[in-house]
Structures are given as structure tokens and as C-alpha cells.
Amino acid sequence: MTIPDRGELLYEGKGKRVYSTSDETLVRVVFKDDATAFNAQKRGTIQGKGVVNAAVTERLMQVVAEAGVDTHFVARVAPDEHLVKRVDIIPVEVIVRNRASGSFAKRYGVEDGLELEPTVIEWCYKSDALGDPPMNDATAVALGFATEEQLHDLFEGAAAVNDALLPFLDERGLDLVDFKLEFGTLPDGTVVLADEISPDTCRFWDAASGERLDKDRFRLDLGDVEAGYQEVAARIALEETS
Ligand code: TMP
Ligand code: ASP
């Protein structure tokens, strides 16, 4: 296919820049090395993160697409850049938890790493200003963030993503502790997976040692942040990062 040229900057988020293209149905997304945590109270740079996140997201979007989940992904057009379908992002962050960690372990006072059965799927309202507050279905519908039908699609989509990623990552010695997904709607209303699936948005632990190989190294000042990202890239998408 012909790759449409980059147009104007439409939106700059904490981790990515979104540009229009000559095709109004497509946008180009550049993954940044900038890192933030705790709703941007902590800021820094993780060298090479943009390329790692673009490579890992490309591979994991392929894996979930093969499992039948529709995504916005079209092509990786540069080491740190994707061409994707333009969507309206649904302001619901979908959090999938196979183990308790992070805010969940803190909220319920349980051990970090506790296995969760069944897997927990939660909604947060996508709002940095409010700190992405957790919400239930009624809140999301009453405040107009999503319809009942969309929440159904989000739940089924997130469960399917988890089912596809768990065995793929297990084969690569990675324990998928939890992750965050965002979905969007195409002009015809179809809900598709959007955003990214990367060490910024997932907790990946080494399956053998429990070592954290994701953004928690930055959040918690564990050191060797770049090495963690490179290790995830090497296991998931080695050929794409060079
Ligand atoms: P949490 O434990 O802080 O609630 O995070 C759960 C998962 O969601 C974890 O893998 C990190 C990811 N996440 C994001 O990608 N963006 C966010 O804004 C938050 C709060 C979490
Ligand atoms: N992405 C959020 C932030 O930048 C939260 C996090 O990942 O810890 O603040």
C-alpha cells in the first residue's frame, strides 16, 4: 500500500504524538521516549522507549488480531511510528488483572503478585485531571462515556486480548500481571482496539525470577529502566527493533 504522508499534529499525549495524513481515515502515531507516571507527577526520558513500544505494540496487535480481535493497527511505517485507522477513543480505560499489583494491591491491602481467579476486568474514566478514577457500568453509561453495548464489546474484547496474550507471552518467559487497553469507534460505530500494548501499559514479570521488566522500573526507581524495555523487546519483537 502507499503510505500517506504525515500532516499536521492533531494531538500530543504523554507517550505519543498523533498526526493527520493525506487520507482522512488514517492517522500516524509517533511513540515518544518521554515517560510519565502517577498522572504525570513523575517525568523522565527512557532512551529507546519509543522504538520498543512501537515494535512490541505491532507484534502484540498482530497476535490479538490473529485471535479475531479487530484493531486500529495498519502498519509500522518507521521504527517508532505506526499508521493506524482514525478512531474516536472511548474514554474508558480497560484494566485487566491476572495478578494483584499496583493500585489494586494497594486498594485492597493484598500481597503484590497474588493470583486472581477469575481475572479481574475493571473500568477507569480516562481523565488525567481526575487521576483516572475507577467506575462501574452504571457510572460509565449515566455519564455518557460508553453505551451498554460498547461496555459489552470492551469486556469481551479485553477478555479475548488476555486469552491471546497469555500463552504467547508465557512461551517467551513473560508473566502478564496486568495491563490497560483503550478502544475506539470507527465512523460506522464498530469498536476496535486502539492505543498500545507495551511495557508502558502492561506489567511484564520474568516468569522464572519475578523480575519486573516494565514501567514499574521507572515508577518505583528500580534502576536499569532501559534494560527492562530492551529485554521485553528482545523476547517479543527482536527482529523489529533493529
Ligand atoms: P494500576 O495498578 O496503576 O492501576 O495499573 C494497572 C495497569 O494499567 C498497569 O499495567 C499499568 C497500566 N496503566 C496504564 O497503562 N496507564 C495508566 O494511566 C494507569 C493508571 C495504569
Ligand atoms: N500513564 C500514567 C501517567 O503518566 C500513569 C502510569 O502509568 O503510572 O501518569
Write the DSSP string, 113-178: T-EEEEEEEEEEE--TTTT--EE-HHHHHHTTS--HHHHHHHHHHHHHHHHHHHHHHHTTTEEEEE
Is any ligand 1 atom within 6 A of the Cβ of residue 216?
no
Distance 33 CA to ligand 2 centre (A): 14
Is any ligand 1 atom within 6 A of the Cβ of residue 195?
no
How distant is the alpha carbon of residue 124 from its chain centre? 14
| The CATH number fitting domain 6-85, selected from 3.30.200.20, 3.30.300.180, 3.90.550.10, 3.40.50.2300 | 3.30.200.20
Would you write out the chain's pLDDT as a tens digit for each of its 242 residues? 899 999 999 999 999 999 999 999 999 999 999 999 988 889 999 999 999 999 999 999 999 999 999 999 999 999 999 999 999 999 999 999 999 999 999 999 999 999 999 999 999 999 999 999 999 999 999 999 999 999 999 999 999 999 999 999 999 999 999 999 999 999 999 999 999 999 999 999 999 999 999 999 999 999 999 999 999 999 999 754 44
Is any ligand 1 atom within 6 A of the Cβ of residue 7?
no
Q: Provide the whole-model pTM.
A: 0.97
User: What is the number of the ligand closest to the CA of 37?
Assistant: 2
Domain parsing of the chain, residue ranges: 6-85, 88-223
Is any ligand 1 atom within 6 A of the Cβ of residue 178?
yes
User: What is the number of the ligand closest to the CA of 38?
Assistant: 2
Superfamily of domain 88-223: ATP-grasp fold, B domain (3.30.470.20)
Distance 25 CA to ligand 1 centre (A): 29
Q: What confidence score (pLDDT) does residue 40 get?
A: 86
